[in-house]
Structure 1
Amino acid sequence: MAAPLSASLFMRLRRDYRRATQCDLLCVDAEGRRQHAARGDRSGPPWKACAASLRRTLDEALRWGEPCIQVGPEDRLIWGVPIMHNAQVLGGLVAVGPRLTTAPARSPAIRKACSALLDLAIRHHVTNAAHLTLRREHTERERRRAVALHSLKDGGYDSIRAIYLREEPGLLAAIKSGERPAAREIINRVLVGIYHLGRHRLELVKSFVLELVVMMCRTAVEAGGEPAELLGANYESLSAVAAIQDEEPLCHWLTDMLERLMDGIRDNRKYPNTVLLKNGLRYMETHLHEEIGRDDAAKAACLSPSHFSRLLKEQTGQTFTETLNRLRVNKARELLARSDRPILAVALDCGFCDQSWFTKVFRKATGLTPGEYRERHPFALPPASP
């Protein structure tokens, strides 16, 4: 069997990898047999007798889509990348690291050396980067599915409807604010829950998926997406879902639909940030008497907390706390001038926890205590009835 790489190319790769990581590099064929071994090279373990170990290293890399650290002969750490032509594995590059007793497998240096090997193989076009990427994405989906299933069991959901009602608000808020990673996580939890509770009832699962897509499309339009394009995608979904006969394609279809919706919002955003910010300010004005925080206002604005703070500073020149205090003081001025309610009652109505704190904030904003402000703006009682 011919070697998977030419001797000259392998020696160049080996030299570059040694220089970058101080780790040796082996070339092996598809069965794990070493290729291009230099004559008289007696350093390291007896690799000729370790073909099975080297082959297993390549199998794990192919399975997970990236180098996986194994313990080889003489307790040396080894990791590899398959040499591929399209989907065919021709052999592999296997790195030989230090002994396990001198370098933990999870050490930053070893992880960096694993990444360097994958980058080296991709850069020199000796592996199928697209295939490995697909394997990594599949692994990540399975990991998220396992986490979501564990969360589902902890949540005690007993019906698909319960999952839908619980997760829908967060999903729609993530879509509106353009938080793609958060939306993906929620979609994954919903899908896992639907499949777990609706197994063997594919038509029921489809009905909930379609209901979810309708809500997602409407939210995307509200967030600035092009209505004709998004509603057209919604119409296409009806026939597409009807043709799906398995859960796995349905999962891929829904995640693709989410990406299309998020792209539509990004590409044609007609919902300016100032409008979203006003929604947050409106929430603050109507909940002044409550104990509210930045995260509450940001959620009402469909923005991330950090983005909300940045927009607030840009538009008003104030932080969230400064803005909240300003709104509360404005409300207090109105109540002091237009009612005869006790000052403590005014403080509580405006969200201040006690009168002393209210007085301190009010004086800083107006230069007057609440009592002094009321004296200068006396409340006029309505005339007595004849």
Structure 2
Amino acid sequence: MNKREVNQDKKLQWLEQLVGRNLLEKMLCSFSKSTGLKAILVDNKGNTLISPDHAKKDCDFCEMIKSDSNGAKKCQRSYARACTEASKYGEPYIFRCHAGLIMWAAPILLDEYVGSIICGQVLMWEPEDYFLEEIEEMVKGLNIDVAAVKWSASHLEIMSSDKVQAAADLLFVVANQIMQSGMTVLEQRREIAAQQARLAEEIQARKRAEVAMNTIESRTKRINSLEKEQELKLKVRNGEKRTAEKLLEKILVDVFSKDSNHLDTLKTRMMELVVIISRAAVDGGAELGEVSQLNTQFYREILEITSPDELCLWSKKMLETVMNYIETNKNQKNLQAIQKAAEFIRKNYRNKLTIDNIAQAVYLSPCYVSRIFKQGLGCTLMEYLTQVRVEEAKAMLKDPKYNVMQVAEESGFEDPGYFTRVFKKLEGVTPSRYKQHAL
């Protein structure tokens, strides 16, 4: 088998895998039976891939032309050119072969495969003398009986242009059906190939993961330990005692499960935790000097510990001591902030005050100062401001030189009507009635 035949065989095998030889032969045979015309499948080189044996044979004219090797090659070149033109435009291509017969090609385009279904071997007009003379010129040089060829040409089937076009369109339908069948298989193949590629990649990824598992696990433990310590620091700084205690328990499990038999190593890790917790306490507002005194006490206690169990229990108590100190310190600072806020209100009640103004005066956020003020005094900042203004208004109403409108303005109420409503709500009487009874 020469190289051309090998390539031809490969193309046919590839096409048969996509569509199936039985289906290809069945469609070509059905077309031939329905039209009375022979149909063959060729590749883009003009090589015949499928020519069903039980379908219609070549006409006598074509058989004589192909009986000569040069004639067969000319037929092949005609098929190749027709295949190229049909694939170029993607529609049926009607052409005249080298021997002068009318034929047509329907393109088949599947992925990288290019081929056509070739059909025809007819005439579209009655053969005249000049046509027979033309045929004699066309077959010159072929080792065939020219007279017999001319005689067979005069007996070729004649089809009208409409019938030729209809047959070409029908052939195009057949070609499209073949392409659709092939494309379905191609798509399935692509999906399978993509899935196999994904599976192969996943397998390789798992192998790489297994190889690096020990290293990754070790790094993960270190990262998790650092993350827990950072989270513990955040909870201590924010005074979240219960959450901090739970985090410390997790850290202790990691530390003691790894170095349970090395007391000195455990003590070193606990000292590191003391430093972390102490820094968090200072960040949370604790006094550095007082925290340093606590640390000195903690270090002395660690040195006296003689067992891991005792060290574990001490660690929990150490955190509790720091958290209680932070809470006490925070309460003291909150009380100071509340006092400063109240003092600021009493000094500036005549001005237009907002929660933001008050928060800026005590160097706290509006939300935080509002919360601790409510917790400490049982009323909101604005309620306290209103109470201060009303108390000042009561004192001024007892003075004959002030009328109600003056009292409202001087006590920080911009709207006398609002002043009257607020005053009556708190004191049970209007400012005017209160003034009458006070004088």
TM-score under structure 1 normalisation?
0.30
Q: Whose Rg is larger?
A: 2
TM-score under structure 2 normalisation?
0.26
User: Which structure has more helix as a fraction of its residues?
Assistant: 2
